[in-house]
Structure 1
């Protein structure tokens, strides 16, 4: 069965949407067509974003070919097929270094809220029925004609994400769709989320506990990377999802301050800094969250640096005291110093007229002087290699930083021996 274009069907203009006529895209679609086993159409984000006037990044293709036929078609055309998700029907076809996810039409045989057992089909309507949102169930053929089996075109103007069919059923099939709803709303939505969708979220939110924390954390990072996710995060907070995920309701005030900084200065959204703002807590809270979400060491380290209290007073003095800024950078590192400066500025209820970007620039350009005392210098004084030597070096470095890096090696060693 081939789904016909809906009564409100429209065509994407290749002149406006260059990805349709990109040579790599044309080659992949031609390779699939040459197999003579069925139709292939663009699907999901590329069609959705084109209709919404948003940038198109990844190009996904749905096909009536089964995975083995996709592999054979790609090889016959001199393209590289990679069986990234063959069991679920997905073959990544690489053309001119660009990956295209090509997925066979499928229907769910069984679901458990985390994963699905699928079978392949040639029915476009069946494939559409298993997708999450109507805006993600839009297809377009090689010339840009849009096919709308579920009514997604109605959602384009409103920029609203409506579940395909029964919202509760869609959520029970995969509870990650709860977070995907808020992520898509953050990136592309306008106004309040769909009422039926929110009612289903509230009813089945406990299903999030069935998901791996890695999937939840990955989805949360994507959400926070939206240009302005505040409305979506607010809706998550009001529905109790933030408390379920983080163990706290989160600080929207500090998060909104960070977002305002990004907008004012044209900065790329920084998911980790925004998460630190949302968490709005000290090192203990951050460590607890990092462990709970199974963050990478680099992620946990970045967050701990952003809330490290070691040089907090110097960070607050840094606005008007360059010596305090230098001490804080030395204690925290430039990245953590800049994070703390931004969080400090964002958290002000009525911030004074000061430009945090100057401090951030200062941190990036500042060159750390070379500490003049080496371990060998203290060994000559009788120190044995080990913890006591390390403690003595730390003590001297603290004195050196406190005096703005001016004491010489001899002056520092003299102070150590007197101490």
Structure 2
């Protein structure tokens, strides 16, 4: 019998109080916390599955002095607010009907029935809170050892229930998989077209989730090879995929964390109109859209003057462009973008009438200041003198 290994989170006093309030026989740990503890990974979220219906969960928690929030009560989920962090508690469920985008569910009474509606075998592992004994209904423990991401039951059926599971497969393959499961890959390829029926926000969320992983290059290459990437991101051609792969390697070499928006930019051609269309299609935020557009305007000359680039476009965009180009970002380091130590009023004080001529002189001084890599105020004053002298000599 396999048991969950000792972990800090399983000894939390507030979690023990919650389990006691529900009744240990009514609740089990499930999903990522169980899977990742078995793999020795850090645990960020803890979920409980329970045989109790939501209102019973709320009532029993209230009696124990535990506050709850009905975060997803229509689908059986209540969140318990604990001192060590929130815990989602979801009543056992079974699918009544599905259409690939949403499911109608009913509450279930059997743990196996709840497990059967989940996506992958490694996500259908339950642990008893008292004994830490693991319940494994579909071979998830063996798949976890073999680093195999496998759908529960028939892969085609699982995908038809929720088309987003295609992208979830590649995300989990990148995180936990070794050799891809052939049945899973074949089903993803055959049903890739169904991704077109999903909301753009859901597709964007999963795509960015894949790109946020430490090294998603293998998964992205597999998506491209099996026609999945072409459905959700047809702009990512062969050359762009090479740029993306080089970026991930460059980030790793510099010890940088993954940035999904930068990586998305690397998968797109450096054409602003194309990037604008992608940002609109994926319903990206205003900030994400601005980053993509700026990265799309990258030039081969960017690496020649990284600080000038940062001054013109901002540090974030400059870093994105330089990294996508495989260039050094050392010049940016802890450098703060300076402000030109010259105001239009100072030019007016030198005898120039307020208006377009002041703006022209200001731009001329600024251009020379940037070209000289941001010298001090004394040098700016000298540059202004030179511009004014040149104007008089015209």
Output the TM-score relative to the length of structure 2: 0.89
Residue 371 of structure 2 corresponds to which residue in structure 1? 402
What does the per-residue CA deviation read over 1:285-305, in whole Å, with 9 as the maximum and x for residues that have no partner? 222211111111111122223
Asked if the contact 2:251–2:323 (Cα under 8 Å) also holds between the matched residues in 1, the reply is: no
Q: Give, in angstroms, the shift of residue 418 of structure 1.
A: 6.7
Displacement of 1:31: 1.9
Report Cα offsets for 1:30-57 as digits up to 9, x if no partner.
Answer: 22117xxx51001111111122333222
Cross-structure match for 1:340: 321
Deviation at 1:206, TM superposition (A): 1.3
Cα RMSD (Å): 2.3
Q: Is the 8 A contact 2:5 2:37 kept in 1?
A: no
Other-structure match for 1:276: 265
Partner of 2:229: 242
Equivalences, count: 383
Q: Secondary structure at the match of 1:364?
A: coil
Change in 2 beyond 3 A, CA 1:415/1:173: farther
Counterpart residue number, 1:177? 165
Q: CA separation in 1, counterparts of 2:290 and 2:360?
A: 23
Distance 1:220 1:313, change over 3 A: closer
Deviation of 1:393 after TM superposition, in Å, equals 4.1
| Cα deviation, residue 332, structure 1 | 2.1
How far apart in 2 are the matches of 1:371 and 1:416? 21
> Secondary structure of the residue that 2:340 maps to in structure 1?
coil
Distance in 1, matches of 2:387 and 2:19, equals 71
- Whole-angstrom distance in 1 between the partners of 2:215 and 2:60: 42
Q: Which residue of 2 aligns with 1:30?
A: 20
Contact 1:61 1:102 in 2 (8 A): yes
Q: For 1:108-147, what aligned pairs fall within 5 Å after superposition?
A: 108-142=95-129, 143-147=131-135
CA separation of 1:399/1:201 partners in 2, compared to 1, >3 Å: closer, same or farther?
Answer: same
- The 3-state SS of whatever aligns with 1:360 is coil
Structure-2 change in CA distance of 1:316 and 1:13 (3 Å): closer
Give the match for residue 220 of structure 2. 233
Helix, strand or coil at the partner of 1:327: helix
- The Cα shift of 1:269 comes to 1.6
- 1:315 equivalent in alignment to 2:302: yes
- Say if 1:106 and 1:397 are closer, same or farther in 2 by CA, change over 3 A: same
Q: 1:369 to 1:120 in 2, by over 3 A?
A: closer
SS in 2 for 1:81: strand
Q: How does 1:317-332 map to 2 (within 5 A)?
A: 317=304, 324-332=305-313
Q: Does 1:255 align with 2:224?
A: no
Residue 367 and residue 151 in structure 1: after superposition, are their counterparts in 2 closer, same or farther (change >3 A)? closer
Q: Does 1:194 align with 2:181?
A: yes
Contact 1:242 1:248 in 2 (8 A): no
Rate the CA distance shift 1:73–1:403 in 2: closer, same or farther, 3 A: same
- Counterpart in the other structure of 1:376: 345
**CA apart distance, 1:93:** 0.8
How far apart in 1 are the matches of 2:199 and 2:161?
15
- CA offsets 1:162-204 (integer angstroms, 9 cap, x no match): 111121111111101010000101111112x211111211221
Distance 2:392 2:90 in 1: 72
| d(CA) in 1 for partners of 2:393, 2:101 | 66
The answer for unaligned runs of 5 or more in structure 1 is: 1-8, 318-323, 346-355
Q: How do 1:149-160 residues align onto structure 2 when only pairs under 5 Å count?
A: 149-160=137-148
Separation in structure 2 between the aligned mates of residue 52 and residue 178 of structure 1, nearest angstrom: 24
Alpha-carbon separation, structure 2, partners of 1:391 and 1:267: 41
Unaligned runs of 5+ in 2: none
